[in-house]
């Protein structure tokens, strides 16, 4: 971003059934052959979702689908499930549906900025509503609140707020979904409506049809070359690794091959970590307290904190909250410098004023780079592969390293390598009743805040329980 932009406008939902039908018609062959490497979708407990849709259409409940968000493929897989598979199971189980199932959804306002304005138009036509993360987006929240209480379809949202790149780790949930639930109960009571408000956890997880060990080795070799790592790694030259069994009985690799592959992955992570520590020490004059002998997770946490601090210093923002909170505030601060709400009409600026506005927009975009780097690693523990050396965990971690290197090189981080064909596993959980928590919520402000926290924690636990530990 090198030029100042006009303010980001709200994209109102404008559901168009013709666009929906065209999308439903196109999604099956498109997502199989061109858009993704997903080749099958396995769904558990779909009867539960069909029954809830039936109750929704009968005016008995208001429903929000809270789905896990490990991948950018999630919306396509969720759409296919609801558009194609849900009507089938409803017919098989003789569950009445009065209309073809669909869903409104909440999406990040930033998606059309990198995916293109056409995506914003498509999301609007499909009934989606945007939310501007990082600030109190009154217009966006009002739209989501209206759709939850009055929309033609159930509402879908990812409570993690963004993809985290991990199939078996859930990022801390943002409290907005729980708050929307209580607002929906409030709106229904004001209108003397009897519907019960439910939040339905939906687990999403991916596994490779065939463990892509050869593709992973090629990817590691590519990343090693990019990082200037040329020394071959053998059992004799392995670095000092954390203690680990490194023996996955489901792997087609021998225990020795697993150890070497993990050693390469660990060496690559350490190399990148060391390079970035030196980068921030030398060029941003940061005092990083850890050293190469410190535990990997501790070093990573310190580096992420340092990167966020560099951006926060530029925008004069105090480091408050967890890494996700800090990323959201930085994003908003950067957008305020780029999408200038204080300049209603850029055309009235003098050439000098326009140049200065362009300069600050460029500076803001450069500082947001640090935040984007952190954003890719907020869920990284440093122990993910060590705890379970499955192909899925190897791939998750290697692709996150690829993301980081792509951002450092300034290439497109969304054009990820495809390591192999995958299946998507979707598990429909048990609904959480928001209505049953209403009495606690209305007692006083402190109890209301606690009710939101408790519901968020219960949702986190429910989504964690939908992770299949032996996937892959």
Cα–Cα nearest to 461, from 436, 438, 434, 430: 430
Cα–Cα nearest to 86, from 49, 40, 127: 49
Q: Identify the pLDDT of residue 471.
A: 46
Q: Identify the pLDDT of residue 248.
A: 58
Instruction: Indicate the fold that domain 17-209+421-464 takes in CATH.
Output: Glycerol-3-phosphate (1)-acyltransferase (3.40.1130)
Tokens linked to 386: 């060590």
φ/ψ bin of 428: left (φ > 0), alpha (ψ from -120 to 50), beta (otherwise): beta
Domain boundaries of the chain, sorted by first residue: 17-209+421-464, 213-409
Quick check: helix, strand or coil at residue 353?
Answer: helix
Half-sphere CA count of 318, side-chain side, radius 13 A? 2
Quick check: helix, strand or coil at residue 316?
Answer: coil
What is the DSSP track for 343-355? -S-GGGS-HHHHH
Q: Kindly list the distances between the CA atom of residue 161 and the CA atoms of 36, 110, 188, in Å, as whole numbers in the listed order.
A: 22, 12, 26
Looking only at the bridges linking them, the beta strands covering 104-108 and 128-131 are parallel
Q: Kindly list the distances between the CA atom of residue 227 and the CA atoms of 62, 217, 302, in Å, as whole numbers in the listed order.
A: 51, 15, 21
Which helix or strand (DSSP H or E) is residue 202 part of? strand 196-208
Which helix or strand (DSSP H or E) is residue 201 part of? strand 196-208
Per the CB < 8 A criterion, the answer to whether 39 and 29 are in contact is no
Rg of the chain, C-alpha, whole Å:
24
Q: Identify the pLDDT of residue 260.
A: 85
Q: Identify the pLDDT of residue 133.
A: 82
Looking only at the bridges linking them, the beta strands covering 128-131 and 196-208 are unpaired
How many other C-beta atoms can be found within 10 angstroms of the C-beta atom of residue 38? 18
Quick check: helix, strand or coil at residue 93?
Answer: coil
Q: Kindly list the distances between the CA atom of residue 271 and the CA atoms of 75, 266, 267, 384, 407, in Å, as whole numbers in the listed order.
A: 35, 9, 6, 18, 16
Per the CB < 8 A criterion, the answer to whether 68 and 161 are in contact is no
Q: How far apart are CA 274 and CA 224, in angstroms?
A: 14
Q: How far apart are CA 469 and CA 472, in angstroms?
A: 9
Alpha helices in 35-175 (DSSP H): 46-57, 74-80, 86-92, 111-115, 117-125, 138-150
Tokens linked to 162: 């963004």
Which helix or strand (DSSP H or E) is residue 40 part of? strand 38-44
Q: How far apart are CA 100 and CA 102, in angstroms?
A: 7
Backbone angles phi, psi at 206, to 5 degrees: -125, 145
Cα–Cα nearest to 414, from 35, 8, 10: 35
Alpha helices in 248-319 (DSSP H): 255-283, 296-315
Adjacent-strand bridge partners of 43: 426
Per-residue pLDDT in tens (0 to 9) along the chain, 472 residues = 789 999 989 999 999 999 999 998 887 765 566 778 888 899 999 999 999 999 999 999 999 999 999 998 999 999 999 999 999 999 999 999 988 999 999 999 989 988 888 999 999 999 999 998 877 889 999 999 999 999 999 999 999 988 888 899 888 898 999 999 999 999 999 999 999 999 999 999 999 999 999 999 999 999 999 999 988 776 566 655 555 555 555 566 677 777 888 889 989 999 999 999 999 999 999 999 888 888 888 999 999 999 999 999 999 999 998 888 899 999 999 999 999 999 988 999 999 999 999 999 999 999 999 999 998 887 777 788 888 888 899 999 999 999 999 999 988 877 889 999 999 999 999 999 999 999 999 999 899 999 999 999 999 999 999 998 764 4
How many other C-beta atoms can be found within 10 angstroms of the C-beta atom of residue 245? 12
Rounded to 5°, the CA angle 275-279-283 comes to: 165
Q: Identify the pLDDT of residue 472.
A: 42
Q: How far apart are CA 366 and CA 368, in angstroms?
A: 5
Q: Kindly list the distances between the CA atom of residue 431 and the CA atoms of 41, 161, 200, 303, in Å, as whole numbers in the listed order.
A: 22, 20, 4, 39
Q: Kindly list the distances between the CA atom of residue 18 and the CA atoms of 25, 75, 126, 255, 435, in Å, as whole numbers in the listed order.
A: 11, 19, 9, 55, 35
Quick check: helix, strand or coil at residue 171?
Answer: coil
Tokens linked to 29: 């062959």
């Amino acid at each position: 971003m090198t030029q100042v932009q006009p303010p980001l406008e709200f994209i109102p939902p404008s559901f168009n059934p013709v666009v929906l039908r065209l999308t439903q018609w196109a999604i099956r062959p498109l997502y199989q052959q061109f858009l993704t490497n997903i080749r099958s979708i396995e769904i558990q407990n779909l009867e539960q979702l069909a029954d809830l849709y039936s109750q929704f259409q009968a005016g008995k409940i208001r429903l929000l689908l809270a789905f896990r968000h490990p991948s950018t493929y999630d919306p396509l897989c969720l759409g296919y499930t609801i558009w194609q598979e849900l009507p089938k199971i409803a017919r098989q189980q003789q569950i009445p549906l009065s209309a073809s199932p669909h869903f409104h959804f909440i999406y990040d306002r930033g998606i059309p900025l990198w995916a293109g304005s056409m995506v914003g138009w498509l999301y609007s036509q499909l009934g989606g509503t945007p939310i501007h993360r990082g600030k109190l987006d009154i217009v966006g929240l009002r739209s989501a609140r209206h759709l939850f209480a009055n929309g033609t379809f159930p509402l879908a949202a990812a409570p993690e707020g963004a993809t985290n790149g991990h199939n078996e780790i859930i990022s801390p949930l943002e409290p907005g979904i729980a708050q929307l639930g209580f607002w929906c109960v409030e709106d229904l009571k004001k209108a003397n409506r009897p519907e019960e408000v439910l939040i339905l956890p939906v687990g999403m997880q991916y596994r490779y049809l065939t463990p892509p060990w050869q593709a992973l080795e090629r990817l590691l070799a590519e990343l090693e070359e990019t990082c200037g790592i040329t020394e071959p790694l053998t059992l004799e030259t392995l670095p000092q690794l954390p203690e680990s069994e490194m023996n996955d009985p489901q792997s087609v690799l021998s225990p020795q091959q697993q150890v070497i592959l993990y050693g390469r992955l660990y060496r690559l992570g350490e190399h990148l970590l060391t390079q970035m520590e030196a980068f921030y020490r030398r060029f941003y004059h940061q005092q990083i307290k850890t050293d190469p002998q410190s535990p990997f997770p501790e070093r990573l946490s310190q580096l992420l904190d340092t990167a966020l601090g560099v951006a926060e210093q530029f925008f004069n923002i105090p480091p408050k909250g967890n890494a996700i909170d800090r990323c959201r505030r930085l994003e908003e601060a950067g957008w305020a410098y780029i999408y200038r709400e204080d300049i209603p009409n850029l055309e009235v600026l003098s050439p000098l004023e326009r140049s200065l506005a362009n300069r600050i927009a460029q500076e803001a975009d450069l500082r947001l780079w640090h935040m984007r780097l952190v954003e890719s690693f907020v869920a990284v523990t440093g122990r993910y592969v060590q705890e379970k050396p499955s192909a899925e965990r190897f791939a998750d971690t290697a692709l996150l390293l690829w993301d980081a290197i792509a951002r450092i090189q300034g290439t497109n981080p969304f054009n990820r390598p495809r390591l192999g064909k995958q299946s998507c596993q979707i598990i429909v959980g048990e609904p959480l009743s928001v209505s049953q928590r209403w009495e606690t919520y209305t007692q006083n402000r402190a109890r209301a805040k606690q009710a939101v926290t408790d519901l968020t924690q219960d949702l986190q636990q429910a989504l964690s329980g939908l992770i299949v530990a032996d996937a892959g």
